[in-house]
Structure 1
């Protein structure tokens, strides 16, 4: 039996380093400022207040009433999305919206560790395993320079480490800068992102992939990206998002 000694040693060193850093810089709750939990910048009380999404549509991930019984929502029955499924463990509601806004728009990169860890823990708790290839929604270079980081990439890192998935940050490019989707009415969001993504020259895909994003609202962005990935050879596309907005219609 082959034993990966280098991997074991690296994991052990990282574990020691993490414990040392926590001893020197103990976790602090990102919401209330009290002492955080081990390995998490949230206190027990604030963690309990995060709105988990318990009854999503299995296709688009929109919240459904428990009585729907796991069946697809009315939208997906009428017009199935290009992507196969959505995993979004949290609802886009207070205080999740605050954590994402501070991370995405106010330069609070420390929230990257928190949100990535929460997404990783939720996947383990829910028994979800991402596809072997993770593709974060790309930013336009201009926006990436302004923000300094791509929030979707930061969310994907803990998933890649835990599940051994490959994180590809370069196979898709954003062809033009677009208006922020959340600043537009739902009717304009599809037109805003139409034709905005393209595969890098010569890149082809095989097997299933996961699109990684911070929050999914109408789904226009990930549907456009999923269409590009399917044309490039992906057999199926899942969407993994930290939070899901909206409300699904009953079947």
Structure 2
């Protein structure tokens, strides 16, 4: 039965690709590996191969911990960010997050699944939530849409409404590190009456200073979570800022 279902699914995929050929979202060439991204553009994507073991900050020279983590460790236990937030991945991310380009989101989620996975998988994935006003404006939670296929691929449960944003906050984009921390302080709560596992991963699309992920981690740790990892598709190179 499963073999027949897989065969029908593969046939449907081939028909779809014949009717709507894959096209690279960056250069317009033919897509490759089942994605709207060509092989050349995929090779240009900035992998985060040399980074801090604790916060995934890109480093020019490999080191166990960046200087900031040595001075003051973040509240989470480990970070996984397979890409650096740089050209051309930042172009795809901007189209997905701000341009409502869901095709770009599908490419990003597919890319994430092909990267070496986190060393230890959690028992639960929680995407960073949007406030309901921002969700109405954007139409979807970009972190949740990235998390869904990743959770399926890793066979890890995903809950989208256990962690909630109780207060609308200004966008973090133009804020410095200190203002970012103040901006999200007290913005997140857990749904009442829930029971959380020992090990949880909080997932977002891009990690810049880590202020949002740190605030979510504190909420989870106060609720009894023993290990909280942070996952992000991409880590911005922002040395000295948390």
TM-score (norm 1): 0.90
For the residue of structure 1 that corresponds to 2:224, the secondary structure is coil
Structure 1 match to 2:142: 151
1:181 to partner: Cα distance = 0.8
Structure 2 residue ranges without an equivalent (≥5)? none
The within-5 A match list for 1:66-145 is 66-68=61-63, 71-124=64-117, 128=119, 130-145=121-136
Q: Does 1:225 align with 2:220?
A: no
In structure 2, the CA distance between the partners of 1:110 and 1:67, relative to structure 1 (3 Å rule), is closer
Report if aligned partners of 2:208, 2:238 keep a CA contact under 8 Å in 1. no
Give the distance between the partners of 1:128 and 1:51, measured in 2 at CA: 20
Report if aligned partners of 2:124, 2:197 keep a CA contact under 8 Å in 1. no
Q: Does 1:47 align with 2:42?
A: yes
- How many equivalent residue pairs? 240
Structure 1 match to 2:20: 25
Structure 1 residue ranges without an equivalent (≥5)? none
1:145 to partner: Cα distance = 0.8
TM-score (norm 2): 0.93
1:183 to partner: Cα distance = 1.8
Question: After superposition, what is the alpha-carbon deviation per residue over 1:138-171, rounded to whole angstroms, capped at 9, x for unaligned?
Answer: 0000111111111001111121111101110010
For the residue of structure 2 that corresponds to 1:123, the secondary structure is coil
> What is the RMSD computed on CA atoms of the aligned residues?
1.7
Structure 2 match to 1:162: 153
For the residue of structure 2 that corresponds to 1:159, the secondary structure is helix
Question: After superposition, what is the alpha-carbon deviation per residue over 1:47-67, rounded to whole angstroms, capped at 9, x for unaligned?
Answer: 111111111101011011334
